[in-house]
Amino acid sequence: MSRKIYIFDTTLRDGEQSPGFSMTLGQKLRVARALSDLKVDIIEAGFPAASPGDFNAVRAVASEIKGPVIAGLCRTIPADIESTIRALEPAEKSRIHTFIATSPIHRKQKLNMSPDEVISHAVNAVKLARGSCDDVEFSAEDAIRTERQYLAEVLQAVIEAGATTVNIPDTVGYSTPSEMHGLFHWLSTTVPGIENVRVSTHCHNDLGLAVANSLAAVEGGATQIECALNGIGERAGNCALEEVVMALRTRADHYEAEVGVDTTRLTAASNLLAAVTGNFVPRNKAIVGENAFAHEAGIHQHGMLASPETYEIMKPQDVGLRNSQLILGKHSGRHAVVDRAKDMGYVLEDSEVEVIMERFKDLADVKKRVFDSDLEAIITGYEIGTNGPWSLNWLSVVSCVNGETEPAVSLTLAHEDGTTSTHTGEGDGPVDAMVQALELVTGSEIEVLSLAMRSISLGEDAQGEATMRATVDGREYSGTGLSTDIVAACADALLEIINRATRSANQAEQNGVVGAHA
């Protein structure tokens, strides 16, 4: 029989308090809405006594978000608890989460308290909190480095005082899966009254074990997991929500547990957090990284085309993606190329495939990723590269911050027919202005979808690479530009896009596709 595991999200508290992840009130509300759409059971909205900003954010989340329980964190100090009670007043369902450190090192070095004093602070805090709220969680900070017998005594005392959830954090990310399993099993079968409360795990990722340790705690008897989107949190972060939830769901046969999270919202929630905080997840990150459902190796692509189960243990749709991506690159084989061409509307004859594959491999050797527009160019017989019909003769950029002048770009493009045209565009910034100038020169409608910049060498004269995706008259293209001047790199990337689009439109006019265009 499967048990319900409660998902307690701490993105807005443990996550937000870590360097580089602070959010404004508006941003916290957007993330809280995404968490509510995700149907997490509890949202820890902040630490109200930490600052007036935190207080207001918890109150705003408590006022707006209905569905999940809204929790506020507080020390065992009465003033902290009272401020949390006030911040949570508007909540439909609220939880007071109070904590004190229990390990010998924290008792001695940080709190300067005896073991009995720590218990008495914990008990008084829980009693005070229970006076105003039926749902009270107690956390024994640094529980993992606490003497087992003493930890059991603390938990028994707070349960008797009225705690409804007891949390056993691995505050410093020190534990191991077998230790977690053993500890949770021992506590769950030893502490009097623990069977009547929720038992929670809260793992930090200092040794990269937060998800594994949380899952081991579940195997040992935990019924609540504290976690954060994209694994954000103090230092190396917390247990990653998306990973632990998908592990429980994908291996339900093993964990015999259920979660109420709507996993189809995971990608959207992760993207939102990344965009709001400006911290993008690595492409190889489990579940939500760009490569999580992408396949490039030829053998893998062949397997995926035969049956996705050959190389995928989860469906991309389960995490909110439309499809797996077969990335075309130097490892791709003919199956993947022919299949992608078919999706694009080109049914290739066997005789054509040989020629196309040869050109595809040549291109893939020099270009890491072959986009659909590259493949189309090969199929339709265009030359690949940045040459013609347009080239950049001259570019002048005016950028302006907090001033009277609008950012503007003037440029002269030369066309292979011998003519030149000069135009000036204005916009919110230089790239926007450049797009406008290029639209005026070429008469096309351009919309930039993404722009990624990176430095590909070191030092003062480092080269910047701009990779852009944009639609030109509704069709999507990619382009790359390289220069020591980042604005010039963007101009080159856009020019490559425009040249591809122009060639594609010309070729379409003159028929020129090989194979039947379905």
Burial 168-192, CB ≥16 within 10 A → b, else e:
bbbbbbbbebeebbebbbebbeebe
Instruction: Considering the complex, state which of residue 80 and residue 492 has its C-beta at the smaller distance from ligand KIV.
Output: 80
- The window from 108-116, 164-172, 419-427, 481-489 that contacts ligand KIV (CB under 6 A) reads 164-172
The piece of 166-174, 262-270, 443-451, 501-509 that touches ligand KIV (CB under 6 A) is 166-174
Q: Does 171 bind ligand KIV (CB under 6 A)?
A: yes
CB of 386 to Zn ion, least distance (A): 50
Which of 169, 231, 320, 515 forms a contact with ligand KIV (CB under 6 A)?
A: 169
Helices (H) and strands (E) in the chain, counts: 17, 20
Contact footprint for Zn ion (CB under 5 A): 14
For Zn ion, the closer of residues 14 and 142 by Cβ is 14
Given the complex with ligand KIV, which of 204 and 295 has the nearer CB atom? 204
Residues 47-106 that bind ligand KIV (CB under 6 A): 99
Binding mask 230-249 for ligand KIV (x = CB under 6 A): --------------------
> Which of 27, 76, 139, 270 is close enough to bind ligand KIV by CB under 6 A?
139
State the pairing for strand pair 346-347/516-517. antiparallel
Choose, by CB under 6 A, the member of 6, 11, 12, 14 that binds ligand KIV: 14
Asked if 55 and 48 touch (Cβ cutoff 8 Å), the reply is yes
**Pick from ligand KIV, Zn ion, none: which does 141 bind, CB < 5 to 8 A by kind?**
ligand KIV
CB of 140 to ligand KIV, least distance (A): 8
How long a stretch of residues is the chain?
518
Strands 390-398, 408-415: pairing kind: antiparallel
Q: Does residue 200 come out as left (phi exceeding 0), alpha (psi in the -120 to 50 range) or beta?
A: beta
Q: Are 158 and 126 in contact (CB under 8 A)?
A: yes
At closest approach, how far in Å is the CB of 496 from ligand KIV? Answer: 48
Burial 429-442 (b: 16+ CB within 10 A, else e): ebbbbbbbbbbebb
Rg of the chain's alpha carbons, rounded to an integer?
29
Contacts of 87 (CB under 8 A, 6+ apart): 46, 48, 55, 58, 59, 62, 72
Residues in region 182-211 near ligand KIV by CB under 6 A: 202, 204
Nearer to ligand KIV, 29 or 144 (CB): 144
Binding site for ligand KIV (CB under 6 A): 14, 99, 139, 141, 167, 169, 171, 202, 204
